[in-house]
């Protein structure tokens, strides 16, 4: 079915702390809707737009989490907490009448999806955890290992700027790009949607509050977040995806696979942290097959 303007709904919903913007692509499509939780925190929905092609089977629901993108950006640092973002997922579901959904969380959105699932929400037909981890410390170990493999000049610049507290300088940002181009997105140039999401992060207060100055340096309130010991509580069929060169390294994916009972793992050999953009056809086919297979057996 060809996507038409009439099949797309968008607008604003009330959530804890402010309004969030949403868009439902393929709103008239058959199939159980897929709700997307974007990364960052603060990246907005933009970089996930390629997943709109899944509307050949189902509605795909995008939203910008509070504090970024088209949603409200309140000047209240107390809002940037995991617990509020969990409540926001419920607000989106309630506001849009999403009683039964497939849930996909990418990167930080995967952290959020895991936390949400541990609250035993009703109506989750399946879970997809894309390029994520159940533990920030495990992720940081992997990221620091990858950082040690960067060219010496970039690595030394990063280490010096962090030691001197100069993480907002152009030289630090330039050096971190050496890491991002290997392990965040290996496309050259980056797609416009990815660049918009990077702009969202830079304009949002959420990333700095919850995470820190870079992907591999945690100074925010997510410090210590670890749900490894509780992964067995996730009972929904779960697809785990990651790229071979992903900043969320191999140990993170194995921890998820071993911990979640009904899980399966797919590694994309030519991708890093953005397999949905780096290998779009293979990624879409994998997710499409998984969602359809689970849906056939769902009660």
**Known catalytic residue: 107?**
yes
> Read out DSSP for 110-153?
HHHHHHHHTT--TTEEEEEEES--SBHHHHHHHHHHHHTTS-HH
**Known catalytic residue: 246?**
yes
Cβ atoms within 10 Å, residue 283: 23
The single residue of 64, 246, 263, 276 carrying the catalytic annotation is: 246
Task: Give me the phi and psi of 244, to 5 degrees please.
Answer: -60, -30
The single residue of 135, 273, 274, 276 carrying the catalytic annotation is: 273
**Which of 255, 288, 247 lies closest to 114 in space, CA to CA?**
255
Tokens of 151: 């060219």
**Known catalytic residue: 273?**
yes
The single residue of 38, 64, 107, 131 carrying the catalytic annotation is: 107
C-alpha–C-alpha distance, residues 23 and 51, integer Å: 13
Task: Give me the phi and psi of 18, to 5 degrees please.
Answer: 160, -170
Q: Angle CA(192)–CA(197)–CA(200) in degrees, nearest 5? A: 130
Instruction: Please report the sign of the dihedral spanned by the C-alpha atoms of residue 221, residue 223, residue 229, residue 235.
Output: positive
**Residue 170: partners with Cβ closer than 8 Å, 6 or more residues away:** none
From residue 256, alpha-carbon distances to 101, 148, 199 in Å are 21, 24, 30
Please identify every residue annotated as catalytic: 107, 246, 273
């Amino acid at each position: 079915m060809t996507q038409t303007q009439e099949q797309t709904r968008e607008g604003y919903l009330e959530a804890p702390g402010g309004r969030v913007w949403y868009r439902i692509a393929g709103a008239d499509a058959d199939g159980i809707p897929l709700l997307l939780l974007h990364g960052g925190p603060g990246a907005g929905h933009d970089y996930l737009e390629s997943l709109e092609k899944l509307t050949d089977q189902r509605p795909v629901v995008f939203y910008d989490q509070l504090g970024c993108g088209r949603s409200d950006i309140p000047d209240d640092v107390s809002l940037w907490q995991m617990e509020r973002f969990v409540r926001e997922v419920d607000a989106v579901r309630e506001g849009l009448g999403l009683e039964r959904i497939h849930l996909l969380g990418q990167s930080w959105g995967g952290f959020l999806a895991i936390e949400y699932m541990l609250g035993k929400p009703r109506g989750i037909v399946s879970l997809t955890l894309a390029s994520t981890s159940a533990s920030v410390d495990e992720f940081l170990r992997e990221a620091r290992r990858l950082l040690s493999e960067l060219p010496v000049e970039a690595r030394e610049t990063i280490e010096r700027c962090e030691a001197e507290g100069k993480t907002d300088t152009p030289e630090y940002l330039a050096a971190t790009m050496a890491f991002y181009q290997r392990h965040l997105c290996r496309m050259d140039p980056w797609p416009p949607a990815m660049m918009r999401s990077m702009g969202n992060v830079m304009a949002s207060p959420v990333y700095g509050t919850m995470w820190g100055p870079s992907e591999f340096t945690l100074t925010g309130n997510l410090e210590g977040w670890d749900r490894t010991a509780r992964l067995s509580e996730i009972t929904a069929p779960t697809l785990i995806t990651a790229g071979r060169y992903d900043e969320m390294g191999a140990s993170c994916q194995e921890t998820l696979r071993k911990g979640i009972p009904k899980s399966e793992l797919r590694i994309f050999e030519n991708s890093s942290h953005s397999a949905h953009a780096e290998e779009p056809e293979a990624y879409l086919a994998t997710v499409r097959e998984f969602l359809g297979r689970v849906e056939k057996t769902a009660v």
